[in-house]
Amino acid sequence: MNPRLLSLETDSLASSFEVFEAAPKDAGRRLDVVVVDRVPRLSRSRVAHLAEAGLVAVDGVVRKPSFRLRAGQTVRVEIPPPPRTELRPEPIPLRVVYEDADLVVVDKPPGLAVHPGPGHPSGTLVNALLARRRTSDGVSRNTGRGRGPCPATAGGAVQRAVGGATGDVAGGPSPIGDAVRPGIVHRLDKDTSGLLVVAKTESAYRSLAAQLRARTMVRIYLTLVRGRIARDHGTIRAPVGRHPSHRTRQAVTDRGRPAVTHYRVLERLVDSTWLACRLETGRTHQIRVHMAHIGHPVLGDPVYGRARVPDLTRQALHAARLEFSHPSTGTRLVCTAPVPDDMARLLARLRGAGEAGPCRGAARPGTPARHRGRPGGGEQQ
């Protein structure tokens, strides 16, 4: 059986099963949380859907996701086969930062959805990767080699600008071989640009998903927000969940899941701030929701900012740095992506709007940052 995940067609005739015994450390924990820990290919939302369908049982009794386990109980999860689905390769240009037999790191442009969904059944990153698979030999076209550090030329200035931030987002959205999202380990919003890694083998997927959950994979974003943030660095701790009345939006809500965003000011501009943000958790739209929550929405954000910005047709948010351990070799890979043209033009215009040098203790992109430790030491805003 071909271990590659980027398959053109997925068809399975039978359900698969995961059976395990609750350990002493699982006593008192929620059923869905324990299943996610023990079955890495399942997300928490996927476990909830399976439980609602009566496919998650404890000692032979179907239970809700919130059921509290006791040590020694037997958990059985039935995972139905995905529907037969065909994904068509499409020759969409991609900027591949790094690639080998286990994974590929892509610098996604704004406007490109990661996988097919409502409103964009085709023309996605997955379609582009399927087309690339037909011509790729699994060796990085950019560097002429496979495993090893990502190319230093892939955004060195950005790497220096965000080098002082470390940490990550927890997650892992879909099981291996998902019919619509094959190999996708984490996602970016359609109009957010920047880096994401896609697994090519099941073992690579499991390793990368585990790093996301353990928060050892580093993802750092650059963003421009409205207003001048007073603190040089800080941490936003506010739960994020679905908006109570607008179901397509997220919001800070007591019923949401814990969410933590660390930020560091890179530069204060005229009525705006250039930031590096590190996600400790990975909730949908987290940076956008958190920055709007503290009164500094991301410039150009059509959902949480509600203000048009000249020179920009989307939110000013870019995944600039991605760092993780290679699933096969353990080598630490560090990939960076330069600021895209639309954000660079906006940044240049804001810099030219008045005298606003870099803030004390911060650095302009392209120059070494003074603070090399973790951001987020400041108080919650």
**Enzyme catalytic residues:** 189
- CB 312 within 8 Å of CB 343: yes
> Are 18 and 39 within 8 A, CB to CB?
yes
Query: What is the number of other CB atoms lying within 10 angstroms of the CB of residue 205?
Result: 29
Please report where in the chains the tokens 């324990």 appear, as a residue.
34
User: What's the angle, vertex CA 53, arms to CA 186 and CA 239, rounded to 5?
Assistant: 45
Q: Are 153 and 336 in contact (CB under 8 A)?
A: no
- Exposed (0-12), middle (13-18) or buried (19+): which is 355, by Cβ within 10 Å? exposed
Query: C-alpha 279: how far from its chain's center?
Result: 9
Strand-pairing partners, residue 87, are none
Distance CA 102, CA 373 (A): 31
* Torsion sign over Cα 129, 130, 131, 135: positive
Q: Which of 139, 157, 137, 136 is nearest to 148 (CA)?
A: 139
CA-nearest of 168, 174, 166, 220 to 199 is 174
Residue 141, both tokens: 């076209």
Mapping DSSP to helix (H, G, I), strand (E, B) and coil, where does residue 221 land? Answer: strand
> d(Cα 139, Cα 99) in Å, to the nearest integer?
6
Nearest to 4 by CA among 130, 121, 148: 130
